[in-house]
Amino acid sequence: MSDNEVRVRYAPSPTGMQHIGGVRTALFNYLYAHSKGGKFILRLEDTDRTRFDEKYVENLYDTMSWLGIDWDEGGSKGGEYGPYVQSERFDLYKKHAMELVEKGEAYYCFCDSERLDRIRKIQTENKMAPGYDRNCRHLTAEEIEKNLKEGKPYVIRLKVPMEGTTTFTDHILGNIEWKNEDISPDPVLLKSDGFPTYHLANIVDDHFMKISHVMRAQEWIPSTPLHVQMYKAFGWPHPEFCHLPMVNGQDGKKLSKRHGSTSLNEFRARGYLPMAIVNYVAMLGCSYEEGKEFYTLEGLSKKFSLEHLNKAPAVFDYKKLEYYNGNYIRSLSDEELYKWTLPFITGTKDALLPLNPESPEPQPKVGPEYSGISLGDDGEPVCVDKSMNMSSKEVKEKLMALMPLIKERLKYLTEAAEMVRFLFTEPSVPQAEQIIPKKLDAQKTKEVLEEAKAFVQKLPAVSHEEGEALAKEYAEKLGVKLGDFMMPIRMAVTGSRISPPLIGSILILGADESVKRIERTLALF
């Protein structure tokens, strides 16, 4: 590695599922590394063993892969500065904690939990700033030796300067000055069980992995003066800092579950495409090229710059993300759309990912219950209604034929399930009031449906454009608007007011079956 090589990292703690805030941090680090020809490192900071769960590790790697955010070191890829999991580096942390003790930059603390609890109680009662009272900071060598010989449990604490200031420069916020008296007083570096705290492990790892830039959320700014002091204590240069603006909801408060989906698993379960999320998230708090909205991951990498990051919090707009998602859905080929929608049509894979039950967003209507299609043991779609006498091959052919029709109407992949249902199960005959347009009466609606039989039978012999023209002719003949002509037909044929384009749907379903459904509906009148 050259001395000026850009090396950045995303180092989450595996204590929860990946969410939008974390993904943006990972993405910005990835984009910066690639914009500079550098390296993007994926590291696990798993020192919090009380909340650690292997499923969160799996979710991290799965999420990054799904988004297409590839890393250069870490995980299964390894690298020359590994291991990239903190729980596998404990000997290194202990060694350097003791090094600080030897240098006089840290010290043994023998205070037990009861004493620390008393301190906290006194501080709370007297409305004092919380923190350690530095009781063990001035123990003599003899006192320390005596306590160690007696086997008293201890932690290692950093000696934070009690006077003066700590300054550092942030790429976005400029020069930041912090009074040393406001830094957490002598925080623990090494716990009594030999586990490092986050701060020690983070600093040691960043140094030995040669991290050049630390890009993280602005909520970490209060920790940065402490980190600068730790680098100083070790005698190491600290990396450059860039604290990213927060991501808020439209109410100006930090983005959370109350605003809607935040977990990447939930976005997946709700039918978002990875590139839509990547493209939109990349725009949160960063500008690229005026007037341009859509980029490939490679395009974003070429345009990304620290100078284009904003100071102000970014606002997460779900409607804007919906716009991006719809755009990317329309850009898919029919084969790609089939691949992406099939899990939601059949209720498999991403459709099975858990959703936040308290989300203000409605539950997606996916799976066989809504589509009439399940997934066979061979991985091919199967019609649930056996009376349809439809082979798996026929199911796939009809689905593929529908893809160009539904593509223009999908905002989410989940919407595909209900849109395809009319092909694979015979819809219930709607109520008369559902069929009759607002501006028509029952008698006129009946006339529309009677004429619709002849209209439908003519469609197989004409093009789609000619079919649209033919529909207009029939509407004019009946003296009704085109929408009032098509809506009763749509309800009769598909059982829904929302469906793929009607003429195309009739052609795929077949004129005979369409007429049959119209005749069943006419029986209502």
What pLDDT, in 10s, does the model give residues 151-196? 999 999 999 999 999 999 999 999 999 999 999 999 999 999 999 9
Contact at 8 Å (CB) between 381 and 348? no
Q: Say if residues 42 and 74 touch (Cβ distance below 8 Å).
A: yes
Exactly one of 191, 232, 254, 257 is catalytic; which is it? 257
Between CA 247 and CA 157, with CA 7 as vertex, the angle to 5 degrees is 80
Residue pLDDT, tens place only, 85-116: 999 999 999 999 999 999 999 999 999 999 99
> Per-residue pLDDT averaged across 495-516, rounded?
93
Cα angle 288, 293, 296 (rounded to 5 degrees) comes to 80
Q: Convert 131-198 into a string of H (helix), E (strand) and C (coil).
A: CCCCCCCCCCHHHHHHHHHCCCCCEEEECCCCCCEEEEEECCCEEEEEEHHHCCCCCEEECCCCCECH
Q: Could you read off the pLDDT of 188-239 as tens digits, one per residue?
A: 999 999 999 999 999 999 999 999 999 999 999 999 999 999 999 999 999 9
Query: Residue 142 has which token pair?
Result: 């003899």
Cα 151 from chain centroid (whole Å): 48
With contact defined as beta carbons under 8 Å apart, do 14 and 53 qualify?
Answer: yes
Q: What's the whole-number mean pLDDT along residues 354-380? A: 92
Q: Which residues pair with 109 in a beta bridge?
A: 155
Please tell me the pTM assigned to this model.
Answer: 0.92
Distance CA 283, CA 281 (A): 5
User: Which long-range contacts (C-beta less than 8 Å, at least 24 apart) are formed by 91-94?
Assistant: 92/204, 92/208, 93/190, 93/196, 93/200, 93/201, 93/204, 94/190, 94/194, 94/196
Tokens of 27: 């993405």
Structural domains in the chain plus CATH codes: 7-87+248-318 (3.40.50.620), 89-244 (3.40.50.620), 332-423 (no CATH), 432-522 (1.10.10.350)
- Asked if pLDDT for residue 469 goes beyond 90, the answer is yes
pLDDT at 394 over 90: yes
Contact 422, 499 (CB under 8 A): yes
Q: How far is CA 352 from the centre of its chain?
A: 16
Assess whether 121 carries a catalytic annotation.
no
pLDDT (0 to 100) of residue 1? 43
